[in-house]
Structure 1
């Protein structure tokens, strides 16, 4: 009897680790079996939020579960981003990652409540939002070289607006200023809406912003496009040259959005999400919708997305230090 009990105990001891291992494995195979929450760390209605909703609807359809967009704004995206950093790594809480939050905020804030490289696993970059330089028609410059020259001779330089201190357009403006020697003076706004109103109205001479917000006003002739910061010209604005074409070789600065999960999310779940996300953003319908928002669709691999995040962290570290940008 004792021998039988000992044998049974050994069998149970051997089976327990296998049973424990099968639990998570079974959960991964069953993923997803409930709605997924996509945290957008900004208010509804902007380009980032709209892009997230376009992707969420189609991603949910492919996964067979609803992907709920949950807006959690505050502290330039830090609050919502922290929520995902501390969420369970089970694939049911995802982050709509934004370059301003993940690769710029760590340099401009004295402290952020997350570690970009340690607290998240990249899933895929949705795409790049192209930036554009526009001016009020009263500004006597039609090209970037003319704008730079004008800034150097105009008393007080030329003021340019952006979505806020430490935003991607702000840093793009500072990089352009460093590369050209222009006398550009930054004017931070709390978002892009008021800055666009001011440049259209003429109280702000220059604006660095996302193409999506500027496009309608460019079409109406209310603002003049100077250059786009993408590597190539845009199909929607083929007559507008790139900054690189305009005398600043190699200059490129775009704002990106992508999907990330909490660190330690199982690899099979990350791979499943990436496959479905790639299919979504490469579909003609979604590509066209994102293009209307000024976003060039991508859907790359976790490794490729992670490589860009690391490179951008290093790039913006240098820009922020050189421009001495700090948000208290």
Structure 2
């Protein structure tokens, strides 16, 4: 009888403890956010992803009434930053900025990652679509994509393109170009996209695939030529750069989507608060003006929902697994 009473007492203590934890989490969710948030960007400062992240952080800070600290954690195509994110507390105060490279392709190019983006991360919303531009050194002997393809088929072994690491957006763009054009130009990996662009401008490497948002300034410098926008239409910020629809390679479309995420396990009420703040941020006139200046597009309403963002991520993981496998890219 005494043992039974002890057992019942332990059960009661456990129940009260669980109830207390539940009530504590509920209280935290109701008052969320109560302190500054950290936004992890898995790239160096100054690149397209970082620029977008800082724009969004400013707008989200206004909506959430809390500071948002941007933390750059570059390296290994985004996997170092995402590993840091995967080890953060699932309390809603650490957010990740990811894109097609870091999220959809990462698992296909790196072995033994300590996270699974589909199982361990919760998408909040897709936040910006960036058309990509084939940017070559100023003295590159081609003035359009068709001439570029012809030259690269002959001289590809002596050429190089720059990227922000295996699995980064620029790397995927280079892989896609090789596959579509029938070329075999090798990559040079940098810690960030800004460094790759700088070496193209200096003539150290031949080209990179960069966001329209950074291509505006790099092309304006006169040290880089924008050969083609990898989308069906030209972008307003680069009116003199033709679209792929104006070349022989009309199917070569490559737009980078960007997404904000939290750890799996963050309470649904917090996820909803963040999603609501993101969608309000994406209606701010000053932010929309910056998007227009950078050639960025606001994603569709569906992809700005948590369910739509999750669907996009799952589909893109499958798509890039296939593309990278067909291109002979194996996990390293």
**Same fold? TM cut 0.5:** yes
Q: Distance in 2 between matches of 1:66 and 1:213?
A: 26
The aligned residue for residue 5 of structure 1 is none
Residue pair 2:94, 2:262 contacting (<8 A) in 1 also: yes
The aligned residue for residue 3 of structure 2 is none
Q: Distance in 1 between matches of 2:164 and 2:76?
A: 14
How far residue 300 of structure 1 moved from its aligned partner, in angstroms, is 0.9
How far residue 214 of structure 1 moved from its aligned partner, in angstroms, is 2.9
Q: RMSD over aligned Cα, in angstroms?
A: 2.8
Q: Distance in 1 between matches of 2:21 and 2:56?
A: 35
Residue pair 1:291, 1:297 contacting (<8 A) in 2 also: no
Q: Distance in 2 between matches of 1:137 and 1:39?
A: 34
Report the count of equivalent residues. Answer: 317
State which of 322, 327, 330 in structure 2 corresponds to 1:323. 327
1:247–1:38 CA distance, 2 compared to 1 (3 A): same
Residue pair 1:165, 1:327 contacting (<8 A) in 2 also: no
Structure 1 SS opposite 2:81: helix
What is the CA deviation profile of residues 285-324 of structure 1, one whole-angstrom value per residue up to 9, with x for unaligned ones? 1122244445333371111111111111112112222222
What is the CA deviation profile of residues 180-202 of structure 1, one whole-angstrom value per residue up to 9, with x for unaligned ones? 32353433334333433333333
Residue pair 1:141, 1:150 contacting (<8 A) in 2 also: yes
The aligned residue for residue 308 of structure 1 is 312
The aligned residue for residue 6 of structure 2 is none
The aligned residue for residue 30 of structure 1 is 31
Residue pair 2:77, 2:164 contacting (<8 A) in 1 also: no
Runs of at least 5 residues in structure 1 that lack an aligned partner in the other structure: 1-8
The aligned residue for residue 107 of structure 1 is 108
The aligned residue for residue 139 of structure 1 is 140
Q: Distance in 2 between matches of 1:137 and 1:87?
A: 43
Runs of at least 5 residues in structure 2 that lack an aligned partner in the other structure: 1-8
Comparing 64-73 with 152-161, which one deviates more in the overlay? Answer: 152-161
Residue pair 2:104, 2:317 contacting (<8 A) in 1 also: yes
Q: How does 1:30-179 map to 2 (within 5 A)?
A: 30-154=31-155, 156=157, 158-179=159-180
Structure 2 residue 293 is matched with structure 1 residue 289: no
Q: Distance in 2 between matches of 1:73 and 1:253?
A: 23
How far residue 61 of structure 1 moved from its aligned partner, in angstroms, is 1.8
The aligned residue for residue 200 of structure 1 is 201
Q: How does 1:9-20 map to 2 (within 5 A)?
A: none
Q: Scaled by the length of structure 2, what TM-score is found? A: 0.84
Q: Distance in 1 between matches of 2:129 and 2:152?
A: 29
The aligned residue for residue 278 of structure 1 is 279
Residue pair 2:134, 2:208 contacting (<8 A) in 1 also: yes
1:118–1:326 CA distance, 2 compared to 1 (3 A): same
Q: Distance in 1 between matches of 2:242 and 2:312?
A: 25
1:284–1:155 CA distance, 2 compared to 1 (3 A): closer
The aligned residue for residue 232 of structure 1 is 233
